[in-house]
Amino acid sequence: MRAVAPAPASGPVTGLADAARRVPGATEARVRVERYVMPGGGSQAAVYVAGTQAVSGGAGDPFDMRSNLELYTGERSASLAAVELALREAGVGPGEPVHVFGHSQGAMLASALALEGTYDVQTLVTYGSPVEAAVPESVLSVGIRHVDDPVAGLAGGGHAETVGAPGSFIAERVADPAGGVHDLTLAAHGIERYAETAAMVDASHDPRAAALRELWTTLGAAERVEVTEYAADRGGG
Given a cut of 80, whether residue 121 has pLDDT beyond it is yes
Question: 184 or 38: which carries more pLDDT confidence?
Answer: 38
CA diameter of the chain? 55
* Residue 236: predicted pLDDT: 47
**Alpha-helical regions (H) of the chain:** 16-22, 65-72, 78-89, 105-116, 191-204, 210-220
Residue 194 and residue 144 in contact, taking contact as beta carbons nearer than 8 Å:
yes
Which residues, in sequence order, are CB contacts of 2 under 8 Å at separation 6+? 230, 231
Please tell me which of 50-64, 85-99, 179-193 the model is most confident about, judged by mean pLDDT: 85-99
Mean pLDDT of the chain: 91
* Residue 158: predicted pLDDT: 67
Q: Report the pLDDT averaged over residues 230-237.
A: 77
Rounded Cα distance between 142 and 154, Å, is 17
Out of 40-49, 112-121, 131-140, 156-165, which region has the weakest mean confidence (pLDDT)? 156-165
Given a cut of 80, whether residue 37 has pLDDT beyond it is yes
Out of 39-48, 57-66, 80-89, 209-218, which region has the weakest mean confidence (pLDDT)? 57-66
Dihedral sign computed on CA atoms, order 196, 199, 203, 207: positive
Residue 59 and residue 237 in contact, taking contact as beta carbons nearer than 8 Å:
no
Q: What pLDDT digit, counting tens, does each position of 163-212 carry?
A: 899 999 999 999 987 765 555 557 899 999 999 999 999 999 889 899 99
Any domain includes 237: no
Out of 32-36, 108-112, 205-209, 233-237, which region has the weakest mean confidence (pLDDT)? 233-237
* Residue 179: predicted pLDDT: 65
* Residue 30: predicted pLDDT: 97
Q: Report the pLDDT averaged over residues 226-236.
A: 87
Question: 163 or 69: which carries more pLDDT confidence?
Answer: 69
Any domain includes 53: yes
Given a cut of 80, whether residue 118 has pLDDT beyond it is yes
**Nearest-5° angle of CA 91, CA 122, CA 12?**
65
Any domain includes 236: no
Burial code (b: 16+ CB inside 10 Å, e: under 16) for 140-151 equals: bbbbbbbebbeb
* Residue 177: predicted pLDDT: 79
Residue 162 structural domain: 2-231
Q: Report the pLDDT averaged over residues 107-114.
A: 98
How much of the chain exceeds pLDDT 90, in percent?
77
Please count the structural domains in the chain. 1
* Residue 115: predicted pLDDT: 96
* Residue 205: predicted pLDDT: 85
Pair type for strands 2-4 and 224-231: antiparallel
Rounded Cα distance between 166 and 71, Å, is 27
Return the number of other C-beta atoms located less than 10 Å from residue 223's C-beta.
Answer: 11
Q: What is the Cα gyration radius of the chain?
A: 17
> 13: pLDDT confidence band, cut at 50, 70 and 90?
very high
Q: Please report, for residues 93, 154, 168, the alpha-carbon distance to residue 141 in angstroms, rounded to integers and kept in the order given.
A: 21, 18, 5
Which residues, in sequence order, are CB contacts of 136 under 8 Å at separation 6+? 164
